[in-house]
Structure 1
Amino acid sequence: MNEIEARIKKLNQLLHEYGHAYYVLDQPVVADGVYDQLMQELIALEQANPSLIYPDSPTQRVGGQVLERFIKVTHDTPMLSLSNAFNEIDLQEFDRKIREQIGDKFSYVCELKIDGLAISLKYENGLFVRGATRGDGTVGEEITENLRTIHSIPLRLKDAISIEVRGEAYMPKKSFEALNEMRRKNEEDVFANPRNAAAGSLRQLDPKIAAKRHLATFIYAIGGDGESYGIDSHSEMLAYLTKQGFAINPTYKKCATIEEVWSFVEEWTAKRNDLAYEIDGIVIKVDRYAQQEELGYTAKSPRWAIAYKFPAEEVSTTLLDIDLTVGRTGVVTPTAILEPVQVAGTTVQRASLHNEDLIKEKDIRIGDRVIIRKAGDIIPQVVDVILAERKEDSIPYEMPENCPVCDTQLVRIEGEVALRCVNPSCFAQVAESIKHFVSRNAMNIDGLGEKVVEQLLKASLITNVSDLYELKREQLLELERFGERSAEKLVTAIEASKDNSLEKLLVGLGIRHIGEKAAQIIAAEFGSMARVMEATEEELTAIFEIGDKMATSLVQYFTNEGAQKVIEHLQTVGVNMTYKGRPTTQIIESDSLFAGKTIVLTGKLTQLTRSEAKAKIEALGGTVTGSVSKKTDLVIVGEDAGSKLTKAEQLGIAVWTEQQFLEQL
């Protein structure tokens, strides 16, 4: 190694150490001037010796290239959402369910819930290679170059490990105030809150703009199997990530009881405004991984974690009007049009009124002074009327008898509170169903926004979702705001969506009660649209996590002649009708010993990681779940197997050692 190469390596090392001390530990070890001087020396040496520029060099945090678009990426393991708690009773109920399943010998970890943008960071052999947004939990957008600009994200880890971690990118309050002050001086729109500012910064196509926003991160999880890294609990994982160089929020606490959890919640509810960053609640998790696995998951979220949301802020304003919208299922939803007011950091002009019953129950009238609250600090709602300020000439509000869009008489189905338009050709319903079909969580067709969908409908180019696949570039060019490039991009995006796996199509069809998780389970079980359409309620409810409402709704949907014609047309134009994930129908129907079996892994495996064992089982047509039940076919046990082994023995379920499992493989 020559003298110049040695100096470049030394500068890299020093600048990483000094940057980590400053941005992660908040304990500067050299003056800013010293850091800047070393950085300038490194820049000069790299410019003179470009072959010696390393991928993790501190000079590479901001690249010079502006991106054309963000690429979709699939997370190695899904980024799950959490169920919510809003008071102490909700937390006690969460605690009760956990104790019923795993007993009393466990502890919680409480962490501050950062109000930012969820991110995933991927490292290979210790080097940062990819960063992405959460997206729909399965597929996000790659924002690697923007994330490189955040100094608290290490470009190289302490150990040469391959790992995917999850966390939150946020904008500190000082950075937010400075950004908005600059935007005011430039006569630009200001950001409503730090969360929006952080999300907007990371979705800039120019990394240099993101670099100027001074974002930060807190990392709080490993994607996949923590046991692969010799970690047995969430608290151990936080220590491990700290050792690797990640910024971990130091404000967390292990709690033995739900009473201790509530004390932590009360403490930080009172102190939240003293922090240098925004938080919107507290996340509570069962600490040990083995117990997390035993508790398992619902269709939407883990049973071993919950997010407590801070009480919503309430303000008063004037109700100017009530707007009526018709959804894709025909439900007519009233929305309050308000005199603009600040609520929880954002300007609110519209708020939910839920339905006709709420309006009558609270006697809400146009012109009233009303109380506005943000449910979970997200959705504005009208919660009450200030009767003392009501005008003398106000009159009660009456919902219309006919659809505000197509003028069809509205009906109220027995047992429901909503008014519905039952005209399947209603413009609003058709438009909403198409918007849902093309949305990110469904068929994910870029370029088909709300205005474009309505434009296509008004031009009679489409009447339902299947018509999208008959669109031609020449037809689009005749519409306003469409040029050669935009028309070509849209046709290409529509064509690409034909290759989506079956579960995306099931979500896109908008079947009541069938969300993303349920669609994936059903698609994996049956393998093809033809089999799903033939499925009986008994077959569906026999599937783990598919309930009666889901089964009834699915069967009813596919008996509808209109739905059958749409699916037939989709198939004719080439939309994929099969499941592309694991296990496929072919694998399940094979003669594999694991095909169609529900299997639980417990204890510490010594020859395979948990992820490797799970992947092998799924490749052979089996399903791995986190908890033992009567539906479990086999339990594979490693060292220190606990309550899952006991429960399997009590239920008479087959138990194998890791060695038996390997022999069968």
Structure 2
Amino acid sequence: PEKLGRGSAIPRDVTAWEARGEVYLGLTRFAALNVQRQEAGLESLANPRNATAGTLKTIDSNEVARRGLSVFLYQLFPLDADDQPGDDVFSDHRGELAALAELGLPVNPFLEVADSADGIIRHLEKLQQLRDGLDYQIDGAVIKVDSRRGQQALASTAKAPRWGLAFKYAAEEAETCLREITLQVGRTGVITPVAELDPVLLAGSTVSRATLHNWEEMERKDIRRGDRVVVVKGGDIIPKVLRVITAARTGDETRIPRPRQCPVCHERTSQQEGEVAVRCVNPLCPAVLSGRLRLFASRDACDIDGLGGRSIDMFVAEELVAGPADLFRLPRATLAALPGWGEKSADRLLAGLARVPDRPWEARIFALGIPQVGVNTARTLATHHASVASMVATTAEDLADLPDIGPVVGAAIEAFFASDGGQHLVAQLSKVGFFQEREEQPPPPAREGEGWFAGRTFVLTGTLEGMTRSDAKRAIEKRGGKVSGSVSRRTHVVVAGARAGGKLDKARKLGLEIADEEAFAARLAEEG
């Protein structure tokens, strides 16, 4: 700090910072990587966005470094003595970006300021003109309120700030020929038609496939094999057929009928009344089984270390598994003998499987793959049912009364547990110890007004002697409260431990409720 000039945008009394931003893969680097991969006989990377996401998930730090990712930083937080984000020290977003740049960190050079809607539109038009010359892909711009005071007044929803707005440009279009329509089968058995296209350059990458969604959508657009079509990328990422160029038809184009047989297992398909989806109803269909196992092993479900998509496909192809329960029965010697595996890989998977019964109850419910049940609905079920037996015995009417469920989802849950496939899955998982007689349930969401914690925002500052900061945060959230990193007028309580600093001073200036560690511990004990 003592080396900063008088005009510095960086406060002198802060010595540690946390910067946040967005990682990307530049187009030049993306092209060079694909050249390297082709020379090495490897499959080309699909697009920069997917390549970036995959790189960040890579465990090998050397491989991550070789990919050559870039970053633009947008936020800068001072850190307190516990390395937690402290009070905001900037009066506006421009000052924050200036501080990032002064620290030598990469900041996006396109920063414009406007005081009217016309000014915003002019800047958006300017960026659109620059778009094709950028070395990275964009699909729009973010419009932000500059003033911190304005940002605080607008606050945020549960998902995003109200003071920021994403503007999206119209998607780039390209014309090509639809050569074939192939069929994909998902984990729920839904059969999706996919357009196989003559390769065409679109939004920075070559597109050769596009989703057609379902047969009703195909019939509505009158999409046929051999058509000239216009394709776009949804959000500049997912290719889809926008429309057919009917004037280019020759008469040789052919319609594709709805499949009567699954393209993978050749069992008869089914389409329920009121649904657009055509399904394979064979639970042992290899495509369905692979999809179910992918969900079962995913991060929000069982989070099984050492079990990726390629391994799952190999297990299914080699007929080593016919369902999730079979994963727990795989012998070490069999795993170690698989191509590309060995003892180390086998031990890693077995260790990951051994941790599954300790996964949260709601995660294991989500892993069952119940139709219509996502992460949030699984948590609702876990909150109201302490065992799988309880869930199996419940009715659609009872389920419909639960938050976020309703009659449609309730009927789907009841039908799943009443089906042969659902009953078989529960029985097999029970045999391998997947369920407990009584599960540890997540706490029900507290309603505002229920106790001292419920519906209130807390800030932790200083050092707590009797618990870690993470333990205190979990205790507050368990009782229906929310923990924030900075003090504002929207803060309800500041919990001040030993050596509390600037946050405590600010709380006093704002007249907020302050609790020392002893009072905080007493409140925790009072509410259990």
TM-score by length of 1: 0.58
* Superposed displacement of residue 237, structure 1: 4.7
Change in Cα spacing, 1:291 to 1:259, as seen in structure 2 (3 Å) is farther
Q: Separation in 1 of the partners of 2:98 and 2:385?
A: 42
Preserved contact between residue 512 and residue 550 of structure 1 (Cα < 8 Å): no
Q: Separation in 1 of the partners of 2:115 and 2:423?
A: 54
Structure 1 residues 403-441: Cα deviation after superposition (integer angstroms, max 9, x where no partner): 323444333222222222333343332222112212344
Change in Cα spacing, 1:269 to 1:563, as seen in structure 2 (3 Å) is same
Q: What does 1:553-592 align with in structure 2 at a 5 Å threshold?
A: 555-556=413-414, 559-560=417-418, 562-575=421-434, 584-585=442-443
Deviates more, 1:454-463 or 1:187-196: 187-196
Correspondence for 2:193: 334
Preserved contact between residue 151 and residue 163 of structure 2 (Cα < 8 Å): no
* Superposed displacement of residue 378, structure 1: 1.0
* Superposed displacement of residue 551, structure 1: 5.4
2:189 partner letter: G
1:548 partner letter: G
Preserved contact between residue 178 and residue 228 of structure 2 (Cα < 8 Å): yes
Correspondence for 1:411: 270
Correspondence for 2:177: 318
Structure 1 residues 566-603: Cα deviation after superposition (integer angstroms, max 9, x where no partner): 345435423366888xx944998xxx9447x33356xx
Correspondence for 1:217: 71
Correspondence for 1:167: 21
Q: Separation in 1 of the partners of 2:423 and 2:455?
A: 32
Q: Separation in 2 of the partners of 1:549 and 1:305?
A: 36
* Superposed displacement of residue 371, structure 1: 1.8
Q: Separation in 2 of the partners of 1:417 and 1:186?
A: 43
1:540 to 402, 409, 413: 402
Deviates more, 1:284-293 or 1:437-446: 284-293
Correspondence for 2:140: 281
Matched, 1:552 2:399: no
Correspondence for 2:455: 598
Correspondence for 2:498: none
Q: Separation in 1 of the partners of 2:337 and 2:38?
A: 40
Change in Cα spacing, 1:508 to 1:172, as seen in structure 2 (3 Å) is same
Gaps of 5+ in 2: 484-489, 495-510, 524-528
Q: What does 1:371-390 align with in structure 2 at a 5 Å threshold?
A: 371-390=230-249
* Superposed displacement of residue 559, structure 1: 3.9
1:468 to 327, 330, 342: 327
* Superposed displacement of residue 352, structure 1: 0.6
Correspondence for 2:285: 426
2:475 partner letter: A
Structure 1 residues 607-662: Cα deviation after superposition (integer angstroms, max 9, x where no partner): 789xx999747505322369xxxxxxxx96479xxxxxxxxxxxxxxxxx743766
Secondary structure of the corresponding residue to residue 249 of structure 1: coil
1:338 partner letter: L
Q: What does 1:193-592 align with in structure 2 at a 5 Å threshold?
A: 194-195=48-49, 215-221=69-75, 228-230=87-89, 237-239=96-98, 241-242=100-101, 245-253=104-112, 261-285=120-144, 288=150, 290-291=152-153, 293=155, 295-297=156-158, 305-477=164-336, 479=338, 481-520=340-379, 523=382, 525-526=383-384, 528-530=386-388, 533=391, 536-537=398-399, 540-541=402-403, 546=404, 548=406, 552=410, 555-556=413-414, 559-560=417-418, 562-575=421-434, 584-585=442-443
Change in Cα spacing, 1:262 to 1:556, as seen in structure 2 (3 Å) is farther
Structure 1 residues 261-318: Cα deviation after superposition (integer angstroms, max 9, x where no partner): 444433312222344543332134566553464x4215xx666655333322222222
Structure 1 residues 328-354: Cα deviation after superposition (integer angstroms, max 9, x where no partner): 222111111222222222222221111
Q: Separation in 1 of the partners of 2:17 and 2:380?
A: 29
1:619 partner letter: A
* Superposed displacement of residue 355, structure 1: 0.9
Structure 1 residues 453-488: Cα deviation after superposition (integer angstroms, max 9, x where no partner): 243334443222122112211333565554334333
Q: Separation in 1 of the partners of 2:371 and 2:86?
A: 38
Structure 1 residues 350-381: Cα deviation after superposition (integer angstroms, max 9, x where no partner): 21111112222222222222222111111111
Change in Cα spacing, 1:576 to 1:236, as seen in structure 2 (3 Å) is farther
Deviates more, 1:174-183 or 1:489-498: 174-183
1:540 partner letter: L
1:623 partner letter: G
Q: Separation in 1 of the partners of 2:65 and 2:339?
A: 36
Change in Cα spacing, 1:261 to 1:517, as seen in structure 2 (3 Å) is farther
Preserved contact between residue 158 and residue 245 of structure 1 (Cα < 8 Å): no
1:575 partner letter: F
Change in Cα spacing, 1:638 to 1:441, as seen in structure 2 (3 Å) is closer
Secondary structure of the corresponding residue to residue 270 of structure 2: strand
1:219 partner letter: L
TM-score by length of 2: 0.71
* Superposed displacement of residue 555, structure 1: 4.3
Q: Separation in 2 of the partners of 1:658 and 1:305?
A: 28
Change in Cα spacing, 1:462 to 1:257, as seen in structure 2 (3 Å) is farther
Identity %: 32
Q: What does 1:604-643 align with in structure 2 at a 5 Å threshold?
A: 616=472, 618-620=474-476, 621-624=478-481, 637=492
Structure 1 residues 486-506: Cα deviation after superposition (integer angstroms, max 9, x where no partner): 333332332233432233323
Change in Cα spacing, 1:205 to 1:548, as seen in structure 2 (3 Å) is closer
Q: Separation in 2 of the partners of 1:637 and 1:214?
A: 44
* Superposed displacement of residue 531, structure 1: 9.2
Deviates more, 1:314-323 or 1:259-268: 259-268
Secondary structure of the corresponding residue to residue 623 of structure 1: coil
* Superposed displacement of residue 556, structure 1: 2.8
Preserved contact between residue 614 and residue 624 of structure 1 (Cα < 8 Å): no
Preserved contact between residue 399 and residue 410 of structure 2 (Cα < 8 Å): yes
Preserved contact between residue 402 and residue 408 of structure 1 (Cα < 8 Å): yes
Change in Cα spacing, 1:437 to 1:201, as seen in structure 2 (3 Å) is closer
Q: Separation in 1 of the partners of 2:307 and 2:400?
A: 38
Q: Separation in 2 of the partners of 1:560 and 1:259?
A: 59
Q: Separation in 1 of the partners of 2:380 and 2:185?
A: 30
2:157 partner letter: G
Q: Separation in 2 of the partners of 1:470 and 1:326?
A: 26
Change in Cα spacing, 1:564 to 1:158, as seen in structure 2 (3 Å) is farther
Preserved contact between residue 262 and residue 268 of structure 2 (Cα < 8 Å): yes
1:170 partner letter: Y
Change in Cα spacing, 1:400 to 1:253, as seen in structure 2 (3 Å) is same
Preserved contact between residue 319 and residue 339 of structure 1 (Cα < 8 Å): yes
Q: Separation in 2 of the partners of 1:180 and 1:453?
A: 26
Aligned length: 469
Which one scores higher on RCO, CA 8 angstroms, separation ≥ 6?
Answer: 1
Preserved contact between residue 212 and residue 218 of structure 2 (Cα < 8 Å): yes
Secondary structure of the corresponding residue to residue 341 of structure 1: strand
Preserved contact between residue 511 and residue 553 of structure 1 (Cα < 8 Å): no
* Superposed displacement of residue 327, structure 1: 1.6
